Amino acid sequence: MVDTIVGSAAGRFERARERVADAYRHRPVTTPPVVVGDCNYWITGEDPTRIPEDYFEASGYDSMRRFQEAKIASHVERIDDDYVPFLFPWYGTGVVPSALGSRIIFQRGEEPAIEGPILGSPAEVRRLEPPDPRRDGLMPRVLGCIDRFKATSGLPASFTDCQGPLNIALSLAGVEQLCLWMYDAPMAVHELMDFATTVLIDWLVVQKTHAGQPMGSGAFPHAMVLPDGFGGVWISDDDCTILSAPLYREFVVPYNSRVLRAFGGGTLHFCGNAPHQVDNFLATDGLVGINNWCMGEFESVRRMQDAFEGRVVLMVCDTTPLDAERYFRELFGFLRPTGTIVGTYPAPANALDAGSHRVVSVRQDQAEVADRAWAIIRRLLGGRDG
Amino acid sequence: MADLDGLTTAIEAGDRTAAARATQQAIDAGRNPQSILDAMTAAMNNVGGRFQRNEIFVPEMLIAARAMKEATALLEPLLVAADIRPEATAVIGTVKGDLHDIGKNLVGMMWKGANIEVIDLGTNVPPERYVEAARTHGARIIGISALLTTTMTGMGDVVRAVRDAGMGDVRIIVGGAPVTAEFAREIGADGYAPDAGSAVEVAKAALAR
């Protein structure tokens, strides 16, 4: 059924792709592309009763596909935004660490989580070995999922969320240790970041090959299809918020640059606020977009908008706020439509309290919240380009 | 003359070697242990303020806390001999079902830096362990951290367990990414720390009530 629904909307998806491409080209427009991200593949904020019991199991590939397809079908029928459907193999953010020896904990109703660091000293970095994606950790499960998606659905399949070199290194060494090593053992940190970068690039190549994606395209960060010509990868760098600009410049920028260059460029995601990293983002070779869940902190968005104008696409995203009218009125009051994309992510059990800049627990109908947010956005934008 | 300003500066800068040297020099010079401790806590107070203002970040806080810890270890025998005790004892942990610890660890470091003794229960801590530890150690503060909206509700369970145990004078302080001041009020907590930088101020305010 989803194939029929999606097939009938092919024209609209092409227009969506063009709007997103125009954002990446910084072509002057009067309204930004908008994605209402209620087709979430992650389960944070999800109604626990809706999560299939075998969602993360190797036996659960079809459950994962059906879970996502049902949301996609509902979304496509209700909301004419710039979302372009795809399937996402999702096993948490610890897939790469899992293949390097980290233990992953599965708890009912939660994303898979890494138990703790596996490196006890800088010297141990040298004992790390590149993983075999057909055998190690959760990598085979991801590949199996991609293969199953390709065999059973007409929708394209993404590579999984691989995070980025920094998050991989933090997972392996632990936040406290890695931060201290940046001062005590900088060469070991460089070795670890270099290793994580190589593993990440190789892993992305394997996944994209399985998914039938060209290396230079086919990235789907948080429900946004990145256009051809603007790179084939997106990475996550949530921890850019906890490092100073000099440390990030030394220990992260060179490695993110390497990943992005390997795929003809790419987009970087982070949650939170990092105005102090703006110059570092601009210094990252191959960076064409920033996907930021800003937690309603718009001063940071203003600063990025000014710095990135004409150079880097800015995607302003958040869990759909409790007071969506106020949030979007304020956002559209200053956000320039050229070179920007807006994403709002309604969830049954989460909402953004923009006043406190925190995600809070709620109980709500996801479709209702999505529809209401879309109606507000359309009204405030006064129509859409294209 | 032992340079206590130099000690403060060394700790703030995270220079463990200079901090230890300045501490030993102050000890050798016969400086009052309380004044040496005050120089150390002043450093961590400055670190907390700079962290809140985004002038420094997590690594700088960590190296400062480490310098403080190592300097304090040199001073500890004199503190004991002079019967200079921690201002209070705090029990800290991440709520049941939650495995995240960096926020809790940073708060613990800041509290230690303010001469609050910290008993760290780790992560995934059920309510009864907070109660038992607070009773065992005579804690006046319980600090609870949560990083997930799905686990933060467990903070209310801790508050109830502590009050049901007749420990109404123990101050409960909560914090973590999804936690808000409103939530803290709703569950009956005594304080809310939005970040590690404010945790000392919040703890002292709670103790003063």
DSSP A101-124: T--EE--TTS--EE------SGGG
Residue B72 shares a structural domain with residue B103? no
| pLDDT surpasses 90 at A316 | yes
Residue A65, domain extent: 2-381
For residue A1, the model assigns a pLDDT of 77
Residues of chain B in contact with residue A179, where contact means CB-CB under 8 angstroms, are 58-59, 62
Residue B77 shares a structural domain with residue B93? no
Mean pLDDT of chain B: 94
A109, A110, A175: residue with CB nearest B102: A175
Q: Are B144 and B114 in contact (CB under 8 A)?
A: no
Q: Which of B16, B48, B81 is the last residue of a domain?
A: B81
Residues of chain B in contact with residue A358, where contact means CB-CB under 8 angstroms, are 177-180
| CB atoms inside a 10 Å sphere around CB A249 | 16
Q: Which of B81, B115, B130 is the last residue of a domain?
A: B81
Residue B14 shares a structural domain with residue B103? no
The nearest alpha carbon in chain A to B59 belongs to A179
| pLDDT surpasses 90 at A55 | yes
pLDDT tens digit sequence for A222-231: 778 888 899 9
Residue B22 shares a structural domain with residue B95? no
Residue B127 shares a structural domain with residue B203? yes
Interchain proximity A179–B62, CB inside 8 Å: yes
Residue B51, domain extent: 4-81
Interchain proximity B99–A243, CB inside 8 Å: no
State how many domains chain A has.
1
| pLDDT surpasses 60 at B1 | no
pLDDT tens digit sequence for A233-260: 999 999 999 999 999 999 999 999 999 9
Residues of chain A in contact with residue B183, where contact means CB-CB under 8 angstroms, are 360
3-state secondary structure chain A: CHHHHHHCCHHHHHHHHHHHHHHHHCCCCCCCCEEECCCCCCCCCCCHHHCCCCCCCHHHHHHHHHHHHHHHHHHHHHCCCCCCCCECCCCCCCHHHHHCCCCEECCCCCCCEECCCCCCCHHHHHHCCCCCCCCCCCHHHHHHHHHHHHHHCCCCECCCCCCCHHHHHHHHHCHHHHHHHHHHCHHHHHHHHHHHHHHHHHHHHHHHHHHCCCCCCCCCHHHCCCCCCCCCEEEECHHHHCCCHHHHHHHCHHHHHHHHHHCCCEEEEEECCCHHHHHHHHCCCCEEEEEEECCCCHHHHHHHHHHHCCCCEEEEEEECECCHHHHHHHHHHHCCCCCEEEEEECCCCEEEECCCCEEEECCCCHHHHHHHHHHHHHHHHCCCCC
pLDDT grade, residue A49 (50/70/90)? confident
Average pLDDT, integer, range B61-68: 95
Residue B143 shares a structural domain with residue B202? yes
pLDDT grade, residue B2 (50/70/90)? low
The nearest alpha carbon in chain A to B194 belongs to A356
Interchain proximity A244–B56, CB inside 8 Å: yes
B59, B153, B183: residue with CB nearest A244: B59
Is the CA virtual torsion A70, A71, A74, A77 positive or negative? negative
A44, A243, A349: residue with CB nearest B57: A243
- Whether A386 maps to a domain, the answer reads no
* Candidates B57, B95, B100, B185, partner chain A, best to mutate (most A CBs within 10 A): B57
Interchain proximity B178–A359, CB inside 8 Å: yes
Residue B116 shares a structural domain with residue B204? yes
For residue B49, the model assigns a pLDDT of 94
pLDDT tens digit sequence for B82-107: 999 999 999 999 999 888 898 999 99
d(CA A233, CA A223): 14
Q: Which of B32, B55, B81 is the last residue of a domain?
A: B81
- Whether A225 maps to a domain, the answer reads yes
Q: What is the dihedral of CA A292, A294, A295, A297, to 10 degrees?
A: 180
* Candidates A108, A110, A319, A345, partner chain B, best to mutate (most B CBs within 10 A): A110
For residue A16, the model assigns a pLDDT of 94
| pLDDT surpasses 60 at A70 | yes
Q: Between B209 and A18, whose confidence is greater?
A: A18
pLDDT grade, residue B79 (50/70/90)? very high
- Whether A106 maps to a domain, the answer reads yes
Interchain proximity A175–B58, CB inside 8 Å: yes
Interchain proximity B63–A183, CB inside 8 Å: yes
d(CA B112, CA A277): 30
- The CATH number that applies at residue B21 is 1.10.1240.10
- Whether A57 maps to a domain, the answer reads yes
End-to-end CA distance of chain B, in Å? 39
For residue A386, the model assigns a pLDDT of 65
Residues from A contacting B (CB-CB < 8 Å) are 44-45, 105, 107, 109-110, 113, 115-116, 175-176, 179-180, 182-183, 242-244, 247, 276, 349-350, 353, 356, 358-361
A326 Cβ neighbours under 8 A, 6+ residues apart: A354
| CB atoms inside a 10 Å sphere around CB B13 | 16
Residue B168 shares a structural domain with residue B92? yes
pLDDT grade, residue B32 (50/70/90)? very high
State the number of CA atoms in the 13 A half-sphere of A81 facing the CB: 32
| pLDDT surpasses 60 at B28 | yes
| B63–chain A nearest CA distance, Å | 7
Mean pLDDT of chain A: 94
pLDDT grade, residue A365 (50/70/90)? very high
Interchain proximity B148–A109, CB inside 8 Å: no
Residue B63 shares a structural domain with residue B130? no
A44, A115, A247: residue with CB nearest B99: A115
Q: How many residues does chain B have?
A: 209
Residue B75 shares a structural domain with residue B93? no
Interchain proximity B59–A113, CB inside 8 Å: no
Q: Is the ipTM of this complex over 0.85?
A: yes
Q: What percentage of chain B has pLDDT greater than the value 70?
A: 99
B58, B149, B179: residue with CB nearest A242: B58
| pLDDT surpasses 60 at A153 | yes
| pLDDT surpasses 70 at A221 | yes
State how many domains chain B has.
2
Interchain proximity B177–A356, CB inside 8 Å: no
Q: Are B189 and B173 in contact (CB under 8 A)?
A: yes
Q: 3-class DSSP state for residue A94?
A: coil
The nearest alpha carbon in chain B to A241 belongs to B57
Residue B94 shares a structural domain with residue B197? yes
| A372–chain B nearest CA distance, Å | 23
Residue B124 shares a structural domain with residue B63? no
- The CATH number that applies at residue A255 is 3.20.20.210
B206 Cβ neighbours under 8 A, 6+ residues apart: B141, B171, B173, B190, B191
Average pLDDT, integer, range A58-86: 95
| B189–chain A nearest CA distance, Å | 17
- Whether A164 maps to a domain, the answer reads yes
Interchain proximity A361–B54, CB inside 8 Å: no
The nearest alpha carbon in chain B to A354 belongs to B180
| A334–chain B nearest CA distance, Å | 25
pLDDT grade, residue B150 (50/70/90)? confident
For the entire predicted model, the pTM comes to 0.93
| B193–chain A nearest CA distance, Å | 13
pLDDT grade, residue A315 (50/70/90)? very high
pLDDT grade, residue A220 (50/70/90)? confident
